Amino acid sequence: MVARIAWTTLIALLANTGIARADSFNYTHLQPRETAKVLAPGEWQVGVFNPLRLGLDWLEVDVHPLLLLAAPQVDVKIPLTASLPDAWQWTAQVGLGVPTLGWRLAKPFGLAGDLVPSCKVAEHAAASAASCQRPGWLIVPKVGVWASREFGHSAASDGYSVLTLHAEIASGFSFSGQAAPPLDAWAPVDIQLAPYVGRTRAQLRVAYDQLLMPWLRLRGELGGYWISRPVGDDALSTLTASVYVGLDARITAHTRLTLGAMAYDIDRHQQKTEKTSEGFDTYTYVRSREVWPTLDFIWSY
């Protein structure tokens, strides 16, 4: 029911905005997102959930307004090659985050008491102080590389389709306090925040972005992740896979709506019970699968 309402709303928005305005505005083709191309100096883009991207001379700076105060993370993308039609463009990425305040502050500024212990009991009981795993101070460096190639160039637009490869590794290094416990939350949260609890995350993603209409793009993505195990847990698989399919639709000259779904195949230590021929119960570990809807509204100037 929710999915039907969402798709109906999207179609209504497209009918009332993208199609109707295509005749009254001289639009270029809707640009793809999350590629090796960096924003031009003076350009910027931000979404409700997507980061703020700022185009500067020879580089792009990405920050997330929602997390800036509690868990600041700054990424810098530096183009290594020029953006030429029907050619590969390479871009380097470096980043640094300090998520400690986000773990220690209570809602709405942080996640203490939700994903990590708040340690309120330990603060008032000396005997419990040592048992609470309050996250210590840590930094999260990140390094990565992007490679994109656009296909189908014409004199009136950029490429009709884009193939993008993204490889990245991030790791959390603690320099004081205790190590944070594993989150054991939802798949997208566990993957994105794994370095923030002192673990190492390596990822490789392959995305294909296809122009369907001047105001509509289809994006598909395959992702593979390696995340280091928690200390003492040798049974947990370190590998996770993801699949994304979604649409980007232009609403106005400077805004777009994104709607899609992300599926994950992840090890949750989930057990499956089976009967043996003798009638006894046996337990085997099976992988878990999760599907999450994605929705965002993005401004570009």
Cα separation values, 175 from 75, 101, 117, 221, Å: 21, 14, 19, 36
Burial of 276 (0-12, 13-18, 19+ CB in 10 A): exposed
DSSP single-letter state for residue 16: I
- Contacts with 7 (C-beta within 8 Å, 6 or more apart), sequence order: 259
Using CA atoms, how far residue 216 sits from 3, 103, 149, 220, in Å, is 19, 39, 19, 14
pLDDT mean values, one per 10 residues, the chain (301 residues): 41 38 50 93 94 94 82 93 88 92 68 61 54 75 96 67 97 78 80 88 97 95 92 78 98 96 89 71 80 96 92
The domain total for the chain is 1
| pLDDT for position 286 | 80
pLDDT score of 10: 41
pLDDT at 237: 86
Torsion angle of C-alpha atoms 215, 221, 227, 233, degrees rounded to 10: 120
In angstroms, the first-to-last Cα distance of the chain is 35
Measured CA to CA, the distance from residue 46 to residue 53 in angstroms comes to 6
For the residues of 223-271, what is the DSSP string, one character each? EEEEEPPPTT--SS--EEEEEEEEEEEEEETTEEEEEEEEEEEEEEEEE
Neighbours of 124 (CB within 10 A): 9
Distance CA 249, CA 14 (A): 7
Handedness of CA 190, 202, 45, 246 (dihedral sign): negative
Residue with tokens 């296809």, as numbered in its chain: 210
The CATH number that applies at residue 109 is 2.40.230
Cα angle value 35/39/44 (rounded, 5°): 115
What gap in Å lies between CA 257 and CA 161, rounded to an integer? Answer: 19
Per-residue pLDDT at 132 = 66
Give the residue numbers spanning the domain of 81: 2-300
Supply the pLDDT for residue 203. 98
pLDDT at 121: 53
Q: What pLDDT does 64 receive?
A: 87
Q: What is the pLDDT of residue 217?
A: 96
pLDDT of residue 284: 73
Distance, in Å, from the CA atom of 99 to the CA atom of 154, rounded to the nearest integer, reads: 45
